[in-house]
Amino acid sequence: MMQGPGLEVGLEAGKAFLKERSPLGPLRIMFKHVGRFFQIPLFFFHPFLVAGPEAVRKVLVTEQQKVAWRNPDPVTDLLRQGVLVMDGEEHDRYRRLMEPAVARLALPGFSGLMLRQTERVMAQWQNGQTVDMLVEGRKIALLIVLEALFGVDGWDDLPRIWTPILKAIEYISPGAWIFWRKIPRLGYKKHLKTLDDYLYGIIRSRRAVAYPSNDLLQHLINAGLNDELIRDQMLTMLIAGHDTSTALLAWVFVLLGQNPATHARLVSELDAAEPDAPPRLLDDVIKESLRLYPPIHIGNRMVKEDIHFAGGIVPAGERLFYSIYLTQRDPQSWEQPDDFCPERFSQGFKQPPFAYIPFGGGPRACIGAAFGQAEARIVIASLLRSFTFEPSNAGAIHAHMGATLEPRPGVLMRVKRRGFVGK
């Protein structure tokens, strides 16, 4: 049954959209007035949206066999047979192949390169310069994924792949294609081919050497996958593994800029801590940033069999979103849900299961969750130990719904070298 908003709610949602310049505002209004189950009333597109721990548990765990990940969207055109857009046995096979390469056990092997790539990007900064942390974070995240997963030092490749990467992300981001799937997608072909050529080049070079490696690329090669399938998994991990971390890094700097007292306390706790034992507050800041601005703010499913939720039924054949953003700001699970309060995680507050889901959950939870969190800890600690960050545009930032939730127009920070030499 359709749960639509009334005229007043519609008007309030419209106002929120204009004020926040993001569909997140209207979604919050719908959530407040309509509830945890509604249909998004867009022209020619009426996906169902659910939020809240009970509904999320159904989508992710108890009734996950009733939904499919593979959808008719551009993400499927781009990633082809990539693990993210596959279902069933084929999905499970790719996932099993790649999981060990990014699992918790593999992480100690990455901390050195995570630090090194961060330092390399920082080394380009002039004292007193204003940098955009959305751009700098992306450089760091890309370099880390390329080296950790494919054994490639991407430094010299960045100029060649930068625009193609941004184009690939734009290609899969929400756009006019939502209303008209066949709309011509001009301006992508050349860039997507550059990206493909780049990945095929990496596969070729690796096949040509007896490389005693244990990285993700090698796992795929050793399993006997052909080049096309390897490209699909590589592109999936490259996009999913760096665009999310980019957004996380950028939001952390937005939030630190808006909360100078926490920022100052975090820097002094980092200075006092051993280099490889970051303070609890760093973890809490990362967690709170993931709660308020989850890089993946929504999970996208195609319904194969009717699903019954407390608010109504989503029939087979429909599109279903579960909202990570709304679930993590649900007042039934969180006190002062819209406030930045990193301490909530260390004050023993226990939110119900599935109230905090920045990495999804169940059998298709994020494969890189441990990797992404370790990366954020190492990168942010290193940045804050080396430079001071003074926000230049914190007030003007809005949450842009692209492939991830991104702070736009960017996160301008004036950086000054601290001269801190460590403990």
Q: Which residues bind ligand HEM (CB under 6 A)?
A: 83-84, 95, 102, 236-237, 240-241, 244-245, 248, 290, 295-296, 299, 358-360, 364, 366-368, 371-372
Strand spans (E) along 231-297? none
Query: Closer to ligand HEM at the Cβ: 202 or 290?
Result: 290
Supply 273's token pair. 């801590």
Answer whether 54's CB lies under 8 Å from 288's CB.
no
Min. distance of Cβ 375 from ligand HEM in angstroms? 7
Min. distance of Cβ 22 from ligand HEM in angstroms? 18
DSSP 3-state of 193: helix
Residue 352 sits at the vertex; the CA angle it makes with 333 and 252, to the nearest 5 degrees, is 65
Min. distance of Cβ 379 from ligand HEM in angstroms? 11
Q: How many CA atoms lie within 13 A of 342 on its CB side?
A: 20
Query: Closer to ligand HEM at the Cβ: 245 or 382?
Result: 245
Long-range contacts of 396-402 (CB under 8 A, 24+ apart): 397/254, 398/20, 398/21, 398/22, 399/20, 399/22, 399/24, 399/293, 400/22, 401/22, 401/23, 401/24, 401/173, 401/174, 401/297, 402/169, 402/170, 402/173, 402/174
Query: Closer to ligand HEM at the Cβ: 290 or 303?
Result: 290
DSSP 8-state assignment for residue 125 = P
DSSP 8-state assignment for residue 352 = P
Min. distance of Cβ 367 from ligand HEM in angstroms? 4
Query: Using CA atoms, how far apart are residues 300 and 323, in angstroms rounded to an integer?
Result: 9
Min. distance of Cβ 92 from ligand HEM in angstroms? 8
Supply 277's token pair. 């034992």
Query: Closer to ligand HEM at the Cβ: 298 or 412?
Result: 298
Query: Closer to ligand HEM at the Cβ: 13 or 79?
Result: 79
Min. distance of Cβ 47 from ligand HEM in angstroms? 13
* Burial of 264 (C-beta count, 10 Å sphere; 0-12/13-18/19+): exposed
Answer whether 5's CB lies under 8 Å from 41's CB.
yes
Query: Closer to ligand HEM at the Cβ: 9 or 68?
Result: 68
Query: Using CA atoms, how far apart are residues 373 and 139, in angstroms rounded to an integer?
Result: 17
DSSP 8-state assignment for residue 62 = I
Query: Closer to ligand HEM at the Cβ: 300 or 392?
Result: 300
Min. distance of Cβ 344 from ligand HEM in angstroms? 18
Query: Closer to ligand HEM at the Cβ: 88 or 128?
Result: 88
Q: How many CA atoms lie within 13 A of 80 on its CB side?
A: 11
Min. distance of Cβ 302 from ligand HEM in angstroms? 12
Give the pairing type, strands 387-391 and 307-309: unpaired
Residue 353 sits at the vertex; the CA angle it makes with 309 and 333, to the nearest 5 degrees, is 80
Question: How far, in Å, are 206, 367, 372 from residue 213 at the CA level?
Answer: 10, 20, 22
Residue nearest to ligand HEM (CB): 368
Query: Closer to ligand HEM at the Cβ: 365 or 396?
Result: 365
Query: Using CA atoms, how far apart are residues 340 and 328, in angstroms rounded to an integer?
Result: 12
Query: Closer to ligand HEM at the Cβ: 13 or 121?
Result: 121
Query: Closer to ligand HEM at the Cβ: 198 or 325?
Result: 325
Min. distance of Cβ 11 from ligand HEM in angstroms? 31
Min. distance of Cβ 214 from ligand HEM in angstroms? 15
Min. distance of Cβ 301 from ligand HEM in angstroms? 7
